[in-house]
């Protein structure tokens, strides 16, 4: 990914979303604000702004970036993404690509395993599932049992029919994952595996291509997921996304249900199926497959995935 191109495409995409207030002029050939209008609001020359969109200006100042964020009506998250993109243009990394290996602390593995009534998993860079407890694996999909290179949550969501059946609001869920991947791309423009993932999804999914092109960014903090499980049917799940302290690009997701609700009863049914009713069968999750190893264990895959 070319940082200058990414910055320019982001500016163009966000400019296209803004309809100037009180626009009574001639009909516009393309939606959104014109370059000269953004430049005027940001108090920079049209030529300067044009060079930014074309990837020909390498060092926009923080003052200019702040003015552009205001002119383009960016929220806090989009503004942070703008600064990430500009930082990558101004100071490209020279120490080689971003580390491809992520590890989950052994203590976090044990914590996940202790959650017997709440689905929980750790998501890393590129939406990879780094660790997952048995109930989460039974509720969604058994990522720890998959080959190391096939544990991307976004790949499963877009490319597997199981995911389209599991997520009741598939389009909403899938499009928000694209926004999350956009944040990763802004922070790690030199990640070759991320670039490969984006390329694969672009080739195989027209929905991904469309949502990737709009440059929307999303940060998952909390919310509701509606799932359709083949064993118990519809569940309404509330999730909390917690940053793992001391570990870059790792997020702990914990799923809960409304106390006394039908969804709570159904989730308990799934937990009982794992913990009590079928003790002899192989359980999904952290006890199955080959999880990404903790630091004390050599990674079996030299690519780190």
Assign residue 32 the CATH number of its domain.
1.10.260.40
Number of domains, the chain: 2
The answer to whether residue 172 is domain-embedded is yes
What are the backbone dihedrals phi and psi of residue 283, each rounded to the nearest 5 degrees, phi first?
-80, 145
Do 183 and 232 belong together in one domain? yes
Do 76 and 185 belong together in one domain? no
In this prediction, residue 170 has a pLDDT band, given cuts at 50, 70 and 90, of: very high
In this prediction, residue 28 has a pLDDT band, given cuts at 50, 70 and 90, of: low
Determine the Cα–Cα distance for residues 275 and 305; give it in Å rounded to an integer.
Answer: 30
Q: Stretch 158-173: mean pLDDT, rounded?
A: 97
The answer to whether residue 190 is domain-embedded is yes
The answer to whether residue 301 is domain-embedded is no
Would you state the pLDDT for residue 60? 86
Quick one: DSSP state of residue 46? Answer: H
Determine the Cα–Cα distance for residues 87 and 85; give it in Å rounded to an integer.
Answer: 5
Do 208 and 140 belong together in one domain? yes
Would you state the pLDDT for residue 14? 92
The answer to whether residue 42 is domain-embedded is yes
In this prediction, residue 11 has a pLDDT band, given cuts at 50, 70 and 90, of: very high
The answer to whether residue 302 is domain-embedded is no
Do 18 and 148 belong together in one domain? no
Final residue before a domain boundary, out of 66, 90, 114: 90
Would you state the pLDDT for residue 148? 86
Would you state the pLDDT for residue 290? 36
The answer to whether residue 286 is domain-embedded is no
Determine the Cα–Cα distance for residues 198 and 208; give it in Å rounded to an integer.
Answer: 9
pLDDT in tens, 60-70: 889 999 999 99
Do 11 and 137 belong together in one domain? no
The alpha carbon torsion through 33, 36, 40, 45 (nearest 10 deg) reads 150
Determine the Cα–Cα distance for residues 60 and 255; give it in Å rounded to an integer.
Answer: 41
The answer to whether residue 299 is domain-embedded is no
Do 244 and 212 belong together in one domain? yes
Do 188 and 115 belong together in one domain? yes
Do 153 and 179 belong together in one domain? yes
Do 123 and 80 belong together in one domain? no
CATH classification at residue 186: 3.30.450.180
Final residue before a domain boundary, out of 26, 58, 90: 90
pLDDT in tens, 195-239: 999 999 999 999 999 999 999 999 988 999 999 999 999 999 999
Do 117 and 241 belong together in one domain? yes
Asked whether the predicted pLDDT for residue 99 surpasses 80, the reply is no
Do 135 and 267 belong together in one domain? yes
The answer to whether residue 193 is domain-embedded is yes
Tokens 């044009």 correspond to: 50
3-state helix, strand, coil in the chain (%, to 5): 50, 10, 40
Would you state the pLDDT for residue 97? 56
Would you state the pLDDT for residue 55? 83
Asked whether the predicted pLDDT for residue 302 surpasses 50, the reply is no
Final residue before a domain boundary, out of 41, 58, 90: 90
Determine the Cα–Cα distance for residues 122 and 195; give it in Å rounded to an integer.
Answer: 22
Q: Domain range spanning residue 225?
A: 106-277
Q: Stretch 14-32: mean pLDDT, rounded?
A: 72
Do 124 and 159 belong together in one domain? yes
């Amino acid at each position: 990914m070319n940082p200058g191109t990414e910055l320019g495409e982001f500016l163009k995409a966000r400019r296209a979303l803004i309809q100037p207030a009180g626009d009574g002029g001639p009909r516009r050939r393309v939606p959104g604000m014109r370059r000269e209008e953004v430049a005027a609001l940001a108090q920079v020359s049209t030529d300067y702004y044009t060079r930014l969109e074309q990837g020909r200006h390498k060092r926009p100042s923080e003052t200019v970036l702040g003015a552009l964020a205001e002119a383009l009506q960016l929220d806090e998250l989009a503004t942070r993404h703008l600064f990430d993109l500009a930082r990558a243009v101004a100071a490209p990394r020279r120490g080689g690509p971003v580390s491809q290996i992520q590890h989950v602390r052994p203590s976090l593995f044990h914590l996940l395993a202790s959650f017997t009534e709440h689905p929980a998993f750790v998501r890393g860079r590129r939406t990879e599932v780094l660790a997952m407890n048995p109930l989460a694996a039974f509720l969604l999909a058994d990522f720890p049992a998959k080959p190391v290179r096939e544990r991307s949550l976004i790949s499963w969501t877009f490319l597997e029919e199981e995911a389209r059946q599991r997520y009741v609001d598939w389009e909403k869920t899938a499009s928000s994952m694209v926004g999350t991947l956009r944040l990763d791309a802004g922070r790690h423009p030199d990640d070759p595996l991320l670039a490969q993932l984006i390329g694969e999804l672009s080739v195989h999914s027209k929905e991904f291509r469309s949502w990737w092109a709009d440059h929307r960014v999303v940060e998952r903090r909390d919310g509701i997921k509606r799932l359709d499980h083949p064993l118990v049917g519809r569940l309404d799940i509330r999730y909390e996304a917690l940053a793992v302290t001391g570990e870059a690009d790792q997020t702990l997701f914990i799923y809960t249900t409304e106390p006394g609700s039908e969804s709570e009863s159904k989730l308990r049914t799934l937990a009982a199926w794992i913990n009590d009713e079928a003790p002899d069968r192989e359980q999904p999750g952290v006890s199955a497959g080959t999880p990404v190893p903790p630091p004390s264990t050599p990674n079996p895959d030299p690519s780190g995935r």
